[in-house]
Amino acid sequence: MTDLTHKPVDELTEAEADAELARLASAIAAADIAYHQNDAPEITDAEYDGLRRRNDAIEAAFPHLVREDSPSMSVGAPPAEGFAKVRHGEPMLSLAKAYTDDDVLDFIERGRRFFERDKDLEIAFTAEPKIDGLSASLRYEKGVFVQGATRGDGTVGEDITANLRTIADIPERLAGSGWPDVIEIRGEVYMSYAEFQALKARSAAAGGQDYVNPRNTAAGSLRQKDPAVTASRKLNFFAYAWGYTTADPAPTQFESVQKFAEWGFRVSPLMVRAQSAEELIAQYRLIEQQRSSLGYDIDGVVYKVDQLELQRRWGFVTGEPRWAVAHKFPAEQATTVVRSIDIQVGRTGTLAPVARLEPVTVGGVVVENVTLHNEDYIRGIDSKGEPIREGIDIRIGDTVVIQRAGDVIPQIVRVVLDKRPAEAQPYQFPHVCPVCGSAATREINEKTGKEDSRRRCTGELICPAQAIERLRHFVSRGAMDIEGLGAENIDLFFQAGLVRTAADIFTLKDRRPEVQQALAERREAQARQREAASGKVRKAVRAVEERNYEGLDKLFAAIDARRNPELDRFIFALGIRHIGETTAAVLARTFGSMEELIRVGKLTAAAADPASVFPSVDGIGGTVVGALVDFFGNERNDDVVEALLAQVTPQPYVVNVSADSLVAGKTVVFTGSLEKMTRSEAKAMAERLGAKVAGSVSAKTDILVAGPGAGSKLKAASDLGVEVLTEDQWFARIGK
């Protein structure tokens, strides 16, 4: 079937439009359930808004095709099972979206056209931050809080009264006077950045779950069966609207919200009244600039007609008020402040600068740190000396715009120069290692004669930071893959003096009492951090700790299981600079055993002309040979490797290229989610059968093995006429 997802609406046939509306209805319904019910969105806000806009555009072009289950006919998602249902006195509607200044101007112009007969009428508007949390409706009768509910599908929500009562911002009784006999106060429940970070820290200390962002965490906290858990999360509430009421709070939107403040609610201090589109957009810009300093998530600014009488006259369209619109911030970017610049030392000694930011949400994820790559990048130039970010350097205190490249990796897009503090000074990159004090130098590239862009610590094995990173690398999935020995335990055992080199890992079982003591001391430290937690939480934590304690034998067994690693894994695990998984496989295939690699490495390191000694190997260039010379020519590494080989015996690399191998000499690419083997296992298997494994599809590719979720590589293979196999077909081909 033809892919219609990107076909312009005005080019769709009626049958194609019908099919697209069906697809969009299904996709949006699934996204609504993930966001509103499960508190675990599966797509970004920008992607969701794109689906909604396309659905609306198709319905406008083909009004006779509007479906009964159209997303334009519904709000949110049905209430989840497990909570009593609450029917709202007035529907809780969604808001129309504006993405550009022109959209805002269009909103204002529509209002002026609607009221154009009222020649002397002055329409006022309000502007306020759009809080990114969970909408809630609070019913008060004679000033007493009697029931609270989620939005649900807009008509029926979930009864979460007990949980809402734990929020300090929600009064049990309204203060002041003048409140109606019955009123449904509406607003947003949210979690501050400070509480979010505190919760993450408490959970990490207890070995609990990680949390992705404040919005999902707040929503999940509000839906807890035990209100005590909700109370422990310190949620907040902003009031900004109302539903059913026996009397208007005041004649205007702005005055009504100020009444809420008199009655004991928190309201946004950034809410203003304006007379023009220009004033509204100016407030939008102001709020956008202050976004990173608010301490909680917002994703736009909401504009509303101020006069309640005019709101009623302008009325509603399906699911939305005509008199309000949400001006969304760009989903991919956000503005924040650089609090500090820290230097981290990697396993190869690289000094990696990291900017610590005021926390801000970008694409649904809280971003606090962003890599600054190297000192040239901080100065505003690239590896060729060309200016980036208009040549503007990055300083502590700078206001910066960040984005997540590919919706994954945070990066700084630009510096807001007119907000730079007067006292901000250019960052001075350290010339000594911040961990061990050894000199940190920039090497000269032999080919170009230019300085390397990265500065490296010369301390090597005497540098604790490099030692820890090397150990973390050694046990990682692509290397020795020792289950249960992750970064946290490596750090613990290193600080306790139990593991200083890789060989020490394989003697941990002989020092069981010391290992148990280190784990016990960590548990005691964690317990001290959790004294404020509820008894139920402490009990759950103790259960986790007991399971971890019982898992010690499993850890020792996992270590023993890796005493005969594959040769390519072992070479990669050594952490030799410039030798990744692919190069390690080439070395394993070339030399066959660790003893032979060491012999040739030593001869090469001792030679006046290393290139004349090291054999010519396809895929091994001067950079890798230089790295091997540095490693095997460093006597401090000899004892480390010798001690390690006394504990483990890497398997000789054997290539099973039989006469009837159907893949020998073929170039193979693996893509998608492989289900019967890991990517590294698939690669090793193919290479042992004489195949060459590549990372991308080209005209030289012979076979593409595609698992579920295969994307661009599968399309490229189809375009180039490359043979495509499933995993089962691959196993059949190689006779497994």
Q: pLDDT of 163-211, one tens digit each?
A: 999 999 999 999 999 999 999 999 999 999 889 888 888 877 776 677 7
- Determine the angle formed by the axes of helices 535-550 and 552-560, rounding to 10 degrees: 30
Average pLDDT estimate for 64-85? 65
Report d(CA 99, CA 332) in Å as an integer.
Answer: 13
Reply yes or no on whether the pLDDT at 410 is more than 70: yes
CA dist., res. 440 & res. 80, Å (int): 57
Using 50, 70 and 90 to split pLDDT, how confident is the model at 1? very low
pLDDT at 406 over 50: no
Please check whether residues 531 and 673 belong to one and the same domain: no
Q: What is the pLDDT of residues 641-681, one digit of tens each?
A: 999 999 999 999 876 555 567 888 889 999 887 777 777 67
Domain co-membership, 341 together with 469: no
The answer to whether position 3 is within a domain reads no
**Do 28 and 133 lie in a common domain?**
no
- Determine, yes or no, domain membership for 26: yes
Closest C-alpha among 370, 399, 395 to residue 292: 399
Catalytic residues: 130
Residue 126, domain member (yes or no): yes
Range of the domain at 676: 667-734
Better-scored residue on pLDDT, 83 or 405: 83
Residue 461's pLDDT band (boundaries 50, 70, 90)? low
What integer pLDDT is reported at residue 627 of this predicted model? 87
Is 630 found in the same domain as 676?
no
Parallel, antiparallel, or unpaired: how do β-strands 399-405 and 365-371 relate? Answer: unpaired
Domain boundary among 645, 676, 692: 645
pLDDT mean over 593-610:
93
Query: Which of the listed residues 299, 328, 357 is the one where a domain comes to its end?
Result: 328
- Domain-embedded: residue 89: no
Question: Is residue 243 a contact partner of residue 186, using CB atoms and an 8 Å limit?
Answer: yes
Residue 60 in domain: yes
Instruction: Give me the number of domains the chain comprises.
Output: 6
User: What is the average pLDDT across 359-383?
Assistant: 86
My answer on whether 154 and 300 are in the same domain is yes
Q: Is residue 411 predicted with pLDDT exceeding 80? A: yes
Mean pLDDT of 295-316: 93
Which residues make Cβ contacts (< 8 Å) with residue 334, sequence separation at least 6?
A: 291, 292, 360, 361, 362, 367, 401, 402, 403
Residue 322 has a pLDDT of 93
CA angle, corner 257, sides to 251 and 258, nearest 5? 90
The per-residue pLDDT for 436 is 87
Give the DSSP per-residue string, 205-217: HTT------HHHH
**Residue 509 structure tokens:** 């079982």
Write down the pLDDT at residue 71. 74
Angstrom CA distances, 546 to 47, 275, 516, 519, 529, stand at: 43, 63, 12, 11, 18
Judgement on whether residues 360 and 269 belong to the same structural domain of the protein = no
Q: Find the mean pLDDT for residues 507-524.
A: 89
Q: Does residue 650 fall inside a structural domain? A: no
pLDDT for the residue 50? 77
Q: Do 489 and 434 reside in the same domain of the chain?
A: no
User: Which residue in 2, 305, 381 sits closest to 125, CA to CA?
Assistant: 305
Last residue of a domain, one of 302, 328, 354: 328
pLDDT tops 90 at residue 428: yes
If you average pLDDT over residues 421-431, what whole number do you get?
95
The pTM of this model reads 0.49
The CATH number given to whatever domain includes residue 14 is 1.10.287.610
Say if residue 321 is in the same domain as residue 444: no
Kindly state the DSSP code that residue 564 receives in the 8-state scheme. S
Answer yes or no: do 391 and 283 share one domain.
no
pLDDT band at 42 (very low <50, low <70, confident <90, very high): low
